[in-house]
């Protein structure tokens, strides 16, 4: 079945990597939704040295929903995710051109406070990465580091002690991350003693503790077993009531289960199609996307 029926979109020779000269129609990624976008990306190019990793990406991300990014290995999903909160700035060879806006404000403008940006746009990585500290200290790490909450001898000596607020924040964040019931009797235990799935929910709690508006997730369940994965998926579903979630996943069933809209990146760092998840999986416009989601390559 070919979806590329117009003259201009005829799919050409398909290789096993999905490379083809099928023209990418900008209409295929012009996903329309109601309300203002939480994030808006326009003509985004990212280079690593002379390698062109993302090629002219434009897409808008609706708030309080789950947006999935899918595509074969190396097509630029993680690069795109990192460009949303300027994590690519940490990579020496990376160069970013184009625009990313958060609530209409340019993320790449001069003078943007990167700490503040990454508080508003938090990130959860593929492998759970708790600090070798207590569960409590892991969750409260961000607010303490940023000086939002202070505890301890020095703080008390200076007449400031936010221990109660901190305890509240730890409980609230662990509850929101659906792990409170499992750890509330051992908050002072080392986080490395938790299972992989618990560690990942703890990392989500740590991210929530800085009160983000957008949560970027880079394959957050790929290192977990099916039961732990199901818990993370349920959690993502709940989080989307309050937060804007953008998730990279290799697992297409997962994208289909948890996201409202899906963006498909293909070889060469192109955004080929972006639409409601159901449309992407059941009736995509692009032949290459159809071949990818039906498992013909990738």
Q: Looking at 24, 41, 44, 53, which residue binds ligand ATP (CB under 6 A)?
A: 53
Q: Is 73 in the site for ligand ATP (CB under 6 A)?
A: yes
Smaller CB separation from ligand ATP, 142 or 298: 298
Measured from the CB of residue 84, what is the shortest distance to ligand ATP in angstroms? 12
Q: Looking at 4, 38, 39, 76, which residue binds ligand ATP (CB under 6 A)?
A: 76
Pairing of strands 214-218, 244-248: parallel
Decide if 43 contacts 60 (C-beta within 8 A): no
Q: Is 201 in the site for ligand ATP (CB under 6 A)?
A: no
225-234 contacts: CB < 8 A, separation 24 or more? 225/196, 225/197, 227/197, 228/195, 228/196, 228/197, 228/198, 228/200, 229/197, 229/254, 231/178, 231/197, 231/201, 232/197, 232/200, 232/201, 232/204, 233/257, 233/258, 234/178
Q: Looking at 79, 83, 199, 287, which residue binds ligand ATP (CB under 6 A)?
A: 79
Q: Kindly indicate which of the ranges 66-74, 157-165, 172-180, 185-193 contains the residues binding ligand ATP, using the contact rule CB under 6 A.
A: 66-74
Number of residues that bind ligand ATP (CB under 6 A): 13
Query: In Å, how far from its chain's centre is CA 1?
Result: 32
Q: Looking at 38, 77, 86, 144, which residue binds ligand ATP (CB under 6 A)?
A: 77
Q: Looking at 56, 74, 98, 268, which residue binds ligand ATP (CB under 6 A)?
A: 74
Q: Which residues of 63-86 are buried (b: 16+ CB within 10 A; e: fewer)?
A: bebbbbbbbbeebbbbbbbbbbbb
Q: Is 56 in the site for ligand ATP (CB under 6 A)?
A: no
Decide if 46 contacts 93 (C-beta within 8 A): no
Measured from the CB of residue 104, what is the shortest distance to ligand ATP in angstroms? 26
Q: Is 95 in the site for ligand ATP (CB under 6 A)?
A: no
Q: Looking at 75, 217, 228, 289, which residue binds ligand ATP (CB under 6 A)?
A: 75
Decide if 94 contacts 52 (C-beta within 8 A): no
Where along the sequence are the contacts to ligand ATP (CB under 6 A)?
Answer: 48, 51, 53, 71, 73-79, 91, 93
């Amino acid at each position: 079945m070919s979806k590329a029926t117009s003259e201009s979109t005829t799919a050409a020779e398909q290789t096993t990597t999905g490379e083809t000269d099928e023209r990418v129609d900008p209409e295929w990624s012009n996903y329309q939704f109601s309300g203002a976008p939480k994030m808006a990306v326009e003509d985004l190019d990212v280079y690593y040295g002379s390698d062109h990793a993302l090629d002219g990406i434009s897409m808008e991300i609706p708030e309080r929903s789950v947006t999935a990014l899918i595509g074969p290995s190396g097509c630029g999903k993680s690069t795109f995710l990192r460009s949303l909160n300027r994590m690519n700035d940490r990579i020496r060879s990376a160069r970013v051109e184009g625009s990313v806006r958060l609530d209409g404000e340019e993320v790449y403008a001069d003078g943007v406070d990167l700490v503040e940006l990454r508080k508003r746009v938090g990130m959860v990585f593929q492998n759970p990465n708790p600090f070798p500290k207590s569960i409590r200290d892991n969750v409260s790490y961000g607010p303490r580091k940023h000086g939002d909450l202070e505890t301890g001898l020095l703080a008390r000596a200076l007449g400031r002690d936010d221990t109660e607020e901190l305890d509240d924040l730890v409980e609230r964040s662990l509850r929101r991350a659906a792990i409170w019931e499992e750890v509330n009797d051992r908050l002072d235990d080392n986080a490395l003693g938790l299972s992989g799935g618990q560690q990942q929910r703890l990392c989500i709690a740590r991210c929530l503790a800085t009160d983000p508006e957008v949560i970027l997730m880079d394959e957050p369940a790929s290192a977990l077993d099916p039961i732990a994965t199901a818990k993370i998926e349920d959690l993502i579903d709940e989080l989307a009531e309050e937060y804007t979630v953008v998730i990279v996943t290799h697992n297409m069933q997962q994208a289909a289960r948890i996201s409202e809209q899906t963006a498909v990146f293909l070889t060469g760092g192109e955004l080929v199609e972006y639409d409601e998840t159901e449309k992407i999986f059941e009736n995509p416009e692009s032949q290459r996307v159809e071949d990818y989601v039906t498992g013909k390559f990738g």
